[in-house]
Amino acid sequence: MQTKYLLSENQIPTHWYNVIPDLPGPMSPVLHPGTRKPVTPADLLPLFPMGLIEQEMSPERWVKIPDEVREIYRIWRPSPLFRAHRLEKALGTPARIYYKYEGVSPAGSHKPNTAVPQAYYNKIGGTKRIASETGAGQWGSSIALACKMFGLECTVYMVKVSFEQKPYRKSMMQLWGAEVIASPSPRTNAGRGILARDPESQGSLGIAISEAVEDAATRDDTRYALGSVLNHVCMHQTVIGLEAKEQMKLAGDVPDVVIGCHGGGSNFAGIAFPFVADKATGSKVRLVAAEPSSCPTLTKGVYAFDYGDTAQMAPISHMYTLGHDFMPPGIHAGGLRYHGASPLVSQLVNAGVIEARAVGQLAVFEAAVTFARTEAIIPAPESSHAIRVAIDEALQAKEEGKEKVILFNLSGHGHVDMAAYDAYFSGKLEDFEYPAEKVKESLAHLPQVDFAK
């Protein structure tokens, strides 16, 4: 019985899977933040190169991966799929647990899967410089790396609390040649506005997005890049699930449940979307998004039109949201602190194709420790949300005395997040349930949209 299932370089997928043609209904349009009318490709050109705009709206189920992108993917792809023999044994479960491990990338997470094609399409689209934002730094380090690979300049607005608490990922960005700026910053109107109201602001992903979007929109040589949420980002990540499907065949198993953690939606989409098509043709596989109970977008938010950012500069999307001025508490899974969700994931949750589950951070770290002490790999706090749900599913199988095949996405390693483990071991972490009245408050500020379906 094998521990891991490997594919060769020539088995890196040749095409990304685009879930749009397999959606249960038509997509809602994305609205211009000023006019509140559906955006056109021309509206998006100041922010994105045409290659990515086309992908954002593509009706094609399969989109070719350029050779130049596969060339960089080869550094770490195909990533391994593991059978969690030791974890199963420790849990005493009849379930068979598999995990796809994306921590083998040079940045230590799944984020380079989309950073690389984004840099590539910008390069061929004439972009000289990319402005982006980052929370905990997984995305920022990945876009920095991708820009270096294609010879682009890169500026990253990093949420201030992470800039100060997570200096290691800042250093990774600098090593890969990027400029890193603590957000909110005096560099942009959006940042200056926030600082004027609250000079001590610790920042949020929504604010950092506003800064990066403004930077890109106001400079001719610069375009913007987003590490999650958007359709093309979710599509790029499907290399994860496509490889995992091939590897599950090698293992001779078919998953009953597929789990990914959920922040903006990209790593979840990466593992889960390739199974959505199977559901359309009769598969009973369950797809479960695991989110933090402190930022419960899918489980406590509403499915509505909302801005992608705090300063209302980004397009308005139809998505699950806690409100664009939602300020999440400073939990240690920094990558899961976004007020919104991918419109594609949102539509599939709303249609009942995808389930969502919120988990508390103490239970998440308990799962992470169990995992590290059995499977050896130290998981990122974000990925540990998926581990928590996978363990819960395995324990349920044990209780019911049923076989079950579980597949989850271990989206990154935790070597750069040891301070979070320190905080957990020293008893400094606590659970935080977002109070319902707070959600109600931020939801009162949703934009009025008179778009008729």
Minimum gap (Å) between residue 232 Cβ and a copy of itself: 22
Between helix 138-150 and helix 167-175 the angle, nearest 10°, is: 10
* Look-up of token digits 């490997």: 6
Does 175 sit near a copy of itself (CB under 8 A)? yes
The nearest distance, CB 137 to a copy of itself, in angstroms, is 10
CB of 178 to a copy of itself, least distance (A): 11
Amino acid at position 417, single letter: D
Name, in order, each residue with C-beta under 8 angstroms of 413's C-beta and a sequence gap of 6 or more.
103, 108, 109, 377, 378, 379, 380
Omega cis (within 30) before 292: no
Q: How far is the CB of 128 from a copy of itself (least distance, A)?
A: 18
Q: How far is the CB of 65 from a copy of itself (least distance, A)?
A: 15
Give residue 325's identity as a one-letter amino acid code.
D
Restricting to residues 356-395, name those near a copy of itself by CB under 8 A.
Answer: 369, 372-373, 375-378
Residues 144 and 134: their CA atoms lie apart, in Å, by 11
Residue 102 backbone phi and psi in degrees, to 5: -95, 0
Of 21-50, binders to a copy of itself (CB under 8 A) are: none
| Binder among 171, 283, 299, 350 for a copy of itself (CB under 8 A) | 171
Containing H/E element for 246? helix 239-251
Selected binder of a copy of itself within 29, 33, 49, 108 (CB under 8 A)? 108
Minimum Å distance from CB 166 to a copy of itself? Answer: 10
Q: Contact between 168 and a copy of itself (CB under 8 A)?
A: yes
Q: Which of 167, 280, 400, 440 binds a copy of itself (CB under 8 A)?
A: 167
Does 165 bind a copy of itself (CB under 8 A)? Our answer is no
Residue closest to 417 by CA, chosen among 386, 383, 380, 367: 380
CA nearest neighbour of 70 among 6, 116, 127, 108 = 116
Compare residues 62 and 425 and give the one whose CB is closer to a copy of itself: 425
Question: 302 or 423: whose CB is closer to a copy of itself?
Answer: 423
Using CB under 8 A, pick the residue from 11, 58, 165, 174 that binds a copy of itself.
Answer: 174
Size of the chain in residues: 453
Task: Say how far apart CA 158 and CA 205 lie, in whole Å.
Answer: 8
Q: How many CB atoms lie within 10 A of CB 396?
A: 13
Q: Any contact of residue 415 with a copy of itself (CB under 8 A)? A: yes
Of 74-82, 90-98, 193-201, 239-247: span binding a copy of itself (CB under 8 A): 74-82
Cα dihedral across residues 341, 424, 415, 85: positive or negative: negative
Q: Which of 45, 75, 124, 280 binds a copy of itself (CB under 8 A)?
A: 75
What residue spans of 151-222 are helical by DSSP H?
160-165, 167-175, 189-197, 205-217
Task: Kindly tell me which residue out of 38, 66, 94, 106 binds a copy of itself, with binding defined by CB under 8 A.
Answer: 106
Does position 177 interact with a copy of itself (CB under 8 A)? The reply is yes
Nearer to a copy of itself, 376 or 452 (CB): 376
Give the residue, chosen from 2, 14, 40, 396, that forms a contact with a copy of itself under the rule CB under 8 A: 2
Q: In this chain, which of 39, 81, 119, 149 binds a copy of itself, going by CB under 8 A?
A: 149
- Check: CB of residue 94 under 8 Å from CB of residue 118: no
C-alpha–C-alpha distance, residues 317 and 29, integer Å:
7
| Residue of 65, 5, 85 whose CA lies nearest to 374 | 85
The residues that touch a copy of itself, with contacts defined as CB under 8 A, are 2-4, 6, 8-9, 71-72, 74-75, 82, 104, 106, 108, 145, 148-149, 167-169, 171-172, 174-177, 369, 372-373, 375-378, 413, 415-416, 418-419, 421-422, 425
